[in-house]
Amino acid sequence: MNIAVIGLGLIGGSLLRALAGAGHQVLGFDADPAVRATARDAAARLPARARWQVTGTIRDAAAEADLVVLAVPLTALHQVLDALVSSGFHGLLTDVTSVKGPVREAVALRLSRAANPVVGYVGGHPMAGRETSGFASSDPALFTGCAWVLCLDNGVSLDDWLTLATLFTELGARVVPATTEEHDRAVASVSHVPHLVANALAACAADDLLALTLAAGSFRDGTRVAATRPELVGAMCGGNADAVREALDELRERLDQAAKALDQRDPVRAVREWVAEGHAARRAWPPDPGRPERVPAQADTLLRLGRAGGWITTVAPDRRTVTGFLPVRTV
Amino acid sequence: MNIAVIGLGLIGGSLLRALAGAGHQVLGFDADPAVRATARDAAARLPARARWQVTGTIRDAAAEADLVVLAVPLTALHQVLDALVSSGFHGLLTDVTSVKGPVREAVALRLSRAANPVVGYVGGHPMAGRETSGFASSDPALFTGCAWVLCLDNGVSLDDWLTLATLFTELGARVVPATTEEHDRAVASVSHVPHLVANALAACAADDLLALTLAAGSFRDGTRVAATRPELVGAMCGGNADAVREALDELRERLDQAAKALDQRDPVRAVREWVAEGHAARRAWPPDPGRPERVPAQADTLLRLGRAGGWITTVAPDRRTVTGFLPVRTV
């Protein structure tokens, strides 16, 4: 497959490496000339069959591609989409952005204007973030075992979806079918709100020097993602504001209950009872993957699998079935 | 020094190992006969000079000790103190409990009733928790580099304090002078509230199977300490309810501001600005330790050092000075 990767940061760079390593013809582009030079140098050190090429423009990368993967931040997306549309690209498009609603809207807006409409768009999101970023941190094994959401909204071609599911499962990812709304709600709760909370915890201790010296494991881990660049946190939380607001409200209600537990006459007992639910949930995570099952490659079946916490690991060559896992709940 | 360690869980067991390894005469006791047997077996596998002994009663462990270290949970403390008082022990007493106010009160109450009053009590707290517990997880190196608060309240003998500071710095700990109130306020912010938040985050995702499958690094780290046993979280947060309530209120206010940022017309920008403070605080942590300084071993000097985020690493043999570090702030 001829694949163009636009944006060569942590995710784009890792994808460039992984796809080239899997035998695809891969072209990469990054807006930063220094990143392009680094990516070119890295390719030159590889055996010829595992090399990628780096182009000087989006047009050169995308014009002949079967698939374009957008791996740029949400803030750069509109500009890159404009360049893509004017390049004459008319293949399959996906992205790796951490919020899916705004990308779907931006793509729909551009496609309606394009002279050569993109054949298909399937929103994607590999859950493979790290607190480090940039091509220097990229790693072809980044996607091994990682959950990779592919959005299967109404109107998305199942064939396009299965093309991407095949490609990413072959890189070792666990492909999770979900709608755009389901994705954005889920990541608000398990990724975006945890980022806000980490920041709030770190800010609370900022001026207490004794506390910062006493801070140990619970502070270190609870605030780790506060080291993420503020632009990224702003883009992902602000770009998913409605779902994040809702998930944050649920967290705030739970913390209101914690405050009430502390006010009880027997706060030791009240707090112990209050923490039981979160304790059980954390002990049951990550879920036991269960046994592999073969299920029909149909949109409703796939979405049901995703809603139940499942994922797929292979697409059958005839594309009629997929092999999926449905985790076993232990609570 | 003849030292008795009462309670042989993670902290008590590690202390037993570390103190015996440092050449002290160490006796251990645990209420659980199975733990006593395990601790005896572990000692038998060591060279004679590094062995500890395990006794069948608190009395046998404490009666002749110069120092007793209480390493039992807050819930067991009253009972152990009663046994200690009736054993005739009259040496120096310390503990490793994660909340210092209630222990100080419990000790004061017992001492006023005792026929043979304990000579001195200095509250202590090594910041060396792990999510694992029990003697099986104990490790003589647990205290290397760990911040170990020793409470230097009004009425505490500086000589007793320096005895313990010498002992624990010799195990590699960074001894932090603080008052009981300062300690309880600081740990509320960097340990107890992070535990509550981890539980709330885990509970919010408990019923969303898709979210649990998408949960990756930020969820894993942000909820890690929710795996701590609910009894321990109840005891430490409930036992420090006033300070935890205050620290939790500060966090809730910050999350109210996060909710407001999400409601702005430009939530991307508003969230980015809101996270800046926590981001800077986390990037500056842990603080650069600075250079060693020799300071007078006086209560007010030591407490000032602790309030400024400092710690001590050695006590001079004449006990007139200590070597301390005062971290350099980078923000």
pLDDT at A50: 87
> Based on the domain organization, do B130 and B197 belong to the same domain?
no
- pTM, two decimals, is 0.90
Angle B102-B107-B111 from CA coordinates, rounded to 5°: 155
* For range A83-87, the mean pLDDT: 88
> Based on the domain organization, do B35 and B135 belong to the same domain?
yes
User: Distance between CA A11 and CA A291 in Å, rounded?
Assistant: 30
Inter-chain residue contact B203 with A278, CB threshold 8 Å: yes
Closest residue in chain A to residue B235, using alpha carbons only: A268
> Based on the domain organization, do A56 and A127 belong to the same domain?
yes
pLDDT at A73: 87
User: Of A85, A110, A142, which one is at a domain's C-terminal end?
Assistant: A142
**Which of B204, B242, B260, B313 to probe the A interface (max A CBs under 10 A)?**
B204
Inter-chain residue contact B252 with A252, CB threshold 8 Å: yes
SS3 B49: helix
Q: Which residue has the tokens 């269960």?
A: A290
Q: Which residues pair with B137 in a beta bridge?
A: none
Count structural domains, chain B. Answer: 2
A9: nearest Cα among A72, A100, A99, A67: A72
Residues counted in chain A: 331
> Based on the domain organization, do B8 and B134 belong to the same domain?
yes
Q: What are phi and psi of B47, to 5 degrees?
A: -60, 150
Inter-chain residue contact A129 with B212, CB threshold 8 Å: no
In a domain, B331, yes or no: no
Contact B307, A210 (CB under 8 A): yes
Domain that holds residue B269: 184-283
Q: Which residue has the tokens 């070597």?
A: B323
How far, in whole angstroms, is CA B6 from its chain's centroid? 16
In a domain, B294, yes or no: no
Closest residue in chain B to residue A187, using alpha carbons only: B211
**Cβ neighbours of A228 in B, within 8 Å:** 279
Judged against a pLDDT cut of 70, whether residue B250 lies above it is answered with yes
**Cβ neighbours of B283 in A, within 8 Å:** 227
| Reported confidence tier of residue B15, pLDDT bands at 50, 70, 90 | very high
Of A227, A271, A329, the CB nearest to B282: A227
> Based on the domain organization, do A134 and A6 belong to the same domain?
yes
Judged against a pLDDT cut of 90, whether residue A131 lies above it is answered with no
Judged against a pLDDT cut of 80, whether residue A144 lies above it is answered with yes
- Residue-wise pLDDT for A154-199, tens only, equals 999 999 999 999 999 999 999 999 999 999 999 999 999 999 999 9
Answer with the residue of higher pLDDT: A85 or B163.
B163
Q: How far apart are the CA of A304 and the nearest CA of chain B, in angstroms?
A: 10
ω before B286 within 30° of 0 (cis)?
Answer: yes
Inter-chain residue contact A194 with B183, CB threshold 8 Å: no
In a domain, B175, yes or no: no
- Residue-wise pLDDT for B283-296, tens only, equals 999 988 889 999 99
ω before A286 within 30° of 0 (cis)?
Answer: yes
Q: Tell me, what CATH number does A228's domain have?
A: 1.10.3660.10
- Count Cα neighbours of A144 within 13 Å in the Cβ-side half-sphere: 7
Inter-chain residue contact A191 with B146, CB threshold 8 Å: no
Q: What share of chain B is helix, strand, coil (3-state, %, to 5)?
A: 50, 15, 30
Judged against a pLDDT cut of 70, whether residue A330 lies above it is answered with no
> Based on the domain organization, do B194 and B125 belong to the same domain?
no
User: Of A267, A283, A299, which one is at a domain's C-terminal end?
Assistant: A283
- Residue-wise pLDDT for B40-67, tens only, equals 999 999 998 889 999 999 999 998 999 9
* For range A265-279, the mean pLDDT: 97
> How far is residue A200 from each of residues A211, B222, B233, measured CA to CA in Å?
15, 12, 21
| Reported confidence tier of residue A331, pLDDT bands at 50, 70, 90 | low
Contacts of A80 (CB under 8 A, 6+ apart): A6, A7, A58, A70, A72
Q: What average pLDDT is seen over chain A?
A: 94
Contacts of A22 (CB under 8 A, 6+ apart): A170, A171
> Based on the domain organization, do A134 and A11 belong to the same domain?
yes
Of B238, B247, B276, the CB nearest to A204: B247
Alpha carbon distance, N-terminus to C-terminus of chain A: 43
In a domain, B160, yes or no: no
* Structure token pair of residue A330: 């232990």
**Cβ neighbours of B326 in A, within 8 Å:** none
In a domain, A160, yes or no: no
Q: Tell me, what CATH number does B33's domain have?
A: 3.40.50.720
Work out the burial of residue A319: count CB atoms within 10 Å of its CB; fewer than 13 is exposed, 13-18 middle, 19 or more buried.
middle
pLDDT at A118: 64
Q: What average pLDDT is seen over chain B?
A: 94
Judged against a pLDDT cut of 70, whether residue B115 lies above it is answered with no
**Cβ neighbours of A182 in B, within 8 Å:** 210
Closest residue in chain A to residue B192, using alpha carbons only: A218
- Residue-wise pLDDT for A36-48, tens only, equals 999 999 999 999 8
Judged against a pLDDT cut of 70, whether residue B20 lies above it is answered with yes
**Cβ neighbours of A254 in B, within 8 Å:** 200, 203-204
Alpha helices in chain A (DSSP H): 10-21, 33-44, 58-62, 77-86, 101-113, 158-169, 180-187, 193-205, 209-214, 217-222, 230-238, 241-263, 267-283, 299-307
| Reported confidence tier of residue B88, pLDDT bands at 50, 70, 90 | confident
| Reported confidence tier of residue A128, pLDDT bands at 50, 70, 90 | confident
Inter-chain residue contact A218 with B231, CB threshold 8 Å: no
Contact B8, B135 (CB under 8 A): yes
Contact B297, B162 (CB under 8 A): yes
pLDDT at B109: 86
Inter-chain residue contact B187 with A214, CB threshold 8 Å: yes
Q: Between chain A and chain B, how many beta carbons pairs sit less than 8 Å apart?
A: 402
In a domain, B232, yes or no: yes
B145: nearest Cα among B165, B126, B164, B117: B126
B122: nearest Cα among B79, B67, B170: B67
Inter-chain residue contact B196 with A258, CB threshold 8 Å: yes
Work out the burial of residue A188: count CB atoms within 10 Å of its CB; fewer than 13 is exposed, 13-18 middle, 19 or more buried.
buried
Of A190, A234, A272, the CB nearest to B269: A234
User: Distance between CA B99 and CA A322 in Å, rounded?
Assistant: 54
DSSP symbols for A81-114: HHHHHHTT--SEEEE--S--HHHHHHHHHHHHH-
A164: nearest Cα among A325, A326, A3: A3
Alpha helices in chain B (DSSP H): 10-21, 33-44, 58-62, 77-86, 101-113, 158-169, 180-187, 193-205, 209-214, 217-222, 230-238, 241-263, 267-283, 299-307
Judged against a pLDDT cut of 60, whether residue B331 lies above it is answered with no
- Residue-wise pLDDT for A207-239, tens only, equals 999 999 999 999 999 999 999 999 999 999 999
User: Of B84, B117, B142, which one is at a domain's C-terminal end?
Assistant: B142
> Based on the domain organization, do A6 and A122 belong to the same domain?
yes
> Based on the domain organization, do A46 and A130 belong to the same domain?
yes
Least confident of B72-76, B210-214, B226-230, B249-253: B72-76
Q: Are strands A124-126 and A2-6 parallel, antiparallel or unpaired?
A: unpaired
Closest residue in chain A to residue B257, using alpha carbons only: A200
pLDDT at A111: 74
| Reported confidence tier of residue B111, pLDDT bands at 50, 70, 90 | confident
pLDDT at A101: 96
Judged against a pLDDT cut of 90, whether residue B132 lies above it is answered with no
Judged against a pLDDT cut of 90, whether residue B117 lies above it is answered with no
User: Distance between CA B102 and CA B88 in Å, rounded?
Assistant: 23
Inter-chain residue contact B191 with A214, CB threshold 8 Å: yes
> Based on the domain organization, do A136 and A198 belong to the same domain?
no
> Based on the domain organization, do A28 and A121 belong to the same domain?
yes
Q: Which residue has the tokens 């954005």?
A: A184
In a domain, B47, yes or no: yes
In a domain, A304, yes or no: no
> Based on the domain organization, do B190 and B131 belong to the same domain?
no
